[in-house]
Amino acid sequence: MEEIIITSKFSIFNNTEELPEGIQKLFKKAITAQKNAYAPYSKFRVGVAIALDNGEIILGTNQENAAYPSGLCAERVALYQAASNFPNSKIETIIITASSEKTNTASPITPCGSCRQSIAEYEAKQESPIAIYFMGEIGKIYKSESLKNLLPLIFNKKLL
């Protein structure tokens, strides 16, 4: 038997004021977008802001549906919108924010497994990492330089 050890590296910020000005602006956009989430069932609102290399900012919110699992996460709403409208642009940064009407989200909210796989697809397509920042409603902000920190054993087209 062999064992491997996989490590992940994250930068942790205490608040948005510690972030570069451009990232602070993206957080404000993601937090504002959160208010447009359609979350009548979970009461859990997610807002995403994606910065593209062409200067465009794409927003996304979670969209729930009574016929679960027909809804879609905020990350994939924004990713697919970016790819549809700007197919030749690279994704530089993804900001993920979340809040709940039931409790304070004090831990950073990471993308779900399906969203991680979707982000991995775009990192592979563009052959460059995507910086991902995520936070809850309150508390610390985490930054990953690449999706590989969140999904180290990525399934991609090279395996097909």
C-alpha span between 21 and 70 (Å, rounded): 36
pTM confidence score: 0.95
Q: Which amino acid is residue 99, in one-letter code?
A: S
DSSP per-residue letters across 64-109: --SSTT--B-HHHHHHHHHHHH-TTPPEEEEEEEEEESSS---S--
Active-site pick, 2, 17, 75, 92? 75
CA 53 to CA 45: how far, in whole Å? 27
Domain 11-149 CATH superfamily: Cytidine Deaminase, domain 2 (3.40.140.10)
pLDDT digits (tens, 9 = 90+) for 22-61: 999 999 999 999 999 999 999 999 999 999 999 999 999 9
Based on the residue annotation, tell me whether 3 is a catalytic residue of this protein: no
Q: In whole angstroms, what is the distance from residue 145 CA to residue 132 CA?
A: 6
62-92 tens-digit pLDDT:
999 999 889 999 999 999 999 999 999 999 9
